[in-house]
Amino acid sequence: MPIKETPIKETPIEEVTPREAVERQRRGARLLDVRENDERASGVAAGAAGLPRSEIAQRIASLVPDRDSEILTICASGKRSLLAARSLRELGYARVASVVGGLQRWRAEGLPIELGQFDADAAERYSRHLLLPEVGAAGQLKLAASRVALIGAGGLGSPAALYLAAAGVGTLTLIDDDKVEKSNLQRQVLHADARIGVPKVDSARQTLAGLNPRVRVDTHAQRLRAANVEELIRGHDVVIDGADNFPTRYLLDAACRRLRIPLVYGAVHRFTGQVSVFDARRAESPCYRCLFPHPPAAEDAPNCAEAGVLGVLPGIIGLLQASEALKLMLGIGAPLVGRLLCFDALAARFHELRLPRDPQCPGCGPLAVLQGYEDIAQLCAAH
């Protein structure tokens, strides 16, 4: 009769409930959160030390030198913590257990959570950003420290400001000298019927504060002019061009180039719109005047009040501007530098044009000389 081989059976890893884990912590067990670093931004089980599973082999000896110590592992749902506990056992730690159900069950049972760099409001409000490795805690903190200037609290500025405020940009500066009119409400969704006649920047501030009270909203009920343009946009990380006239756009472009602030350009006309990014910090970036070297005659460039616009169109273009602004602040993705993205609502089609820097550009070319912003104002007035 053949001898029956006894299979070498690995002792399964012990699993403990979150409540049991709290009890064992009290008696001296160490709790390790084995999720990735960015996953801990929205909170950890009270008393847990962060040690991502991939770093266990290098770091456990310095974190828990005594191999007889009891170690409990926790992750989001209890799967990775089991694997981590197995690794710990292989490294010679005999007393290991995994928290069943992970942080999900921990939270569901109302056990204490510790928050890191974020208070409870921010951790919950920005939780969907914190889940993205490309944003995460570090990115969210970058946004909170960022300042965006929006020229115009109108069709383009409305969606851009709403979503930038929702995203947690620290400071939004709104520059607009108009008052809310009934004809604005078809597309300028920052405003409200009850606030017709109110300065747009005040109306906008009210809406933005209601959406995200954490965001600071600075307002200037002024028209952008040669005399104030630098003062108004200096110190910002990104400028969003939501202007409805050429003189303002030319001024803004010149000032952003001089102050080396990226300018996110957007424009709409009837059923079409376009977006681009002019970033003076990049040598290869064109400027607004590479696209429009000279201001067109007023009759060739009608604004929305003259030509009409489909209400949703500035919504689409303004959100593309907000998306570019967020990417610039976070330093992720490929910005629309050197590219003009065009949208045709009737055809439901996007197309992209290459927009190289123009060596003869009167704005950024080698022969361009900026005498002063007054010159630009006069240049525009002459056309």
Catalytic machinery residues: 304
Instruction: Compute the least distance from the CB of residue 360 to Zn ion, in Å.
Output: 9
- Check residue 361 for interaction with Zn ion (CB under 5 A): yes
Instruction: Compute the least distance from the CB of residue 111 to Zn ion, in Å.
Output: 59
Using the rule CB under 5 A, give the single segment among 134-142, 232-240, 279-287, 336-344 that binds Zn ion. Answer: 279-287
Distance between CA atoms of 284 and 278, rounded to whole angstroms?
A: 10
Q: Closer to Zn ion at the Cβ: 122 or 361? A: 361
Q: Which two tokens stand for residue 331?
A: 């330093």
- Check residue 376 for interaction with Zn ion (CB under 5 A): no
User: Residue 50: beta bridge partners?
Assistant: 33
Cα torsion angle, 307, 311, 317, 322, sign: positive
- Check residue 363 for interaction with Zn ion (CB under 5 A): yes
Q: Closer to Zn ion at the Cβ: 84 or 364? A: 364
Instruction: Compute the least distance from the CB of residue 188 to Zn ion, in Å.
Output: 30
Q: DSSP string spanning 263-279?
A: EEEEEEEBTEEEEEEE-
Q: Which helix (H) or strand (E) holds 21?
A: helix 18-26
Using the rule CB under 5 A, give the single segment among 121-129, 148-156, 301-309, 353-361 that binds Zn ion. Answer: 353-361
What is the CA 323 to chain-centroid distance, rounded?
7
Q: Closer to Zn ion at the Cβ: 41 or 361? A: 361
Q: Closer to Zn ion at the Cβ: 18 or 363? A: 363
Distance between CA atoms of 83 and 371, rounded to whole angstroms?
A: 67
Using the rule CB under 5 A, give the single segment among 30-38, 149-157, 282-290, 331-339 that binds Zn ion. Answer: 282-290
Question: Hey, which residues between 289 and 318 contact Zn ion (CB under 5 A)?
Answer: 289-290
- Check residue 287 for interaction with Zn ion (CB under 5 A): yes
Distance between CA atoms of 192 and 210, rounded to whole angstroms?
A: 13
- Cβ count near 194 (within 10 Å): 9
Distance between CA atoms of 209 and 206, rounded to whole angstroms?
A: 5
Using the rule CB under 5 A, give the single segment among 43-51, 108-116, 144-152, 287-295 that binds Zn ion. Answer: 287-295
- Check residue 364 for interaction with Zn ion (CB under 5 A): yes
Using CB under 5 A, count the residues that bind Zn ion.
6
Q: DSSP string spanning 195-219?
A: GTTSBHHHHHHHHHHHH-TTSEEEE
Query: Which residues are near Zn ion by CB under 5 A?
Result: 287, 289-290, 361, 363-364
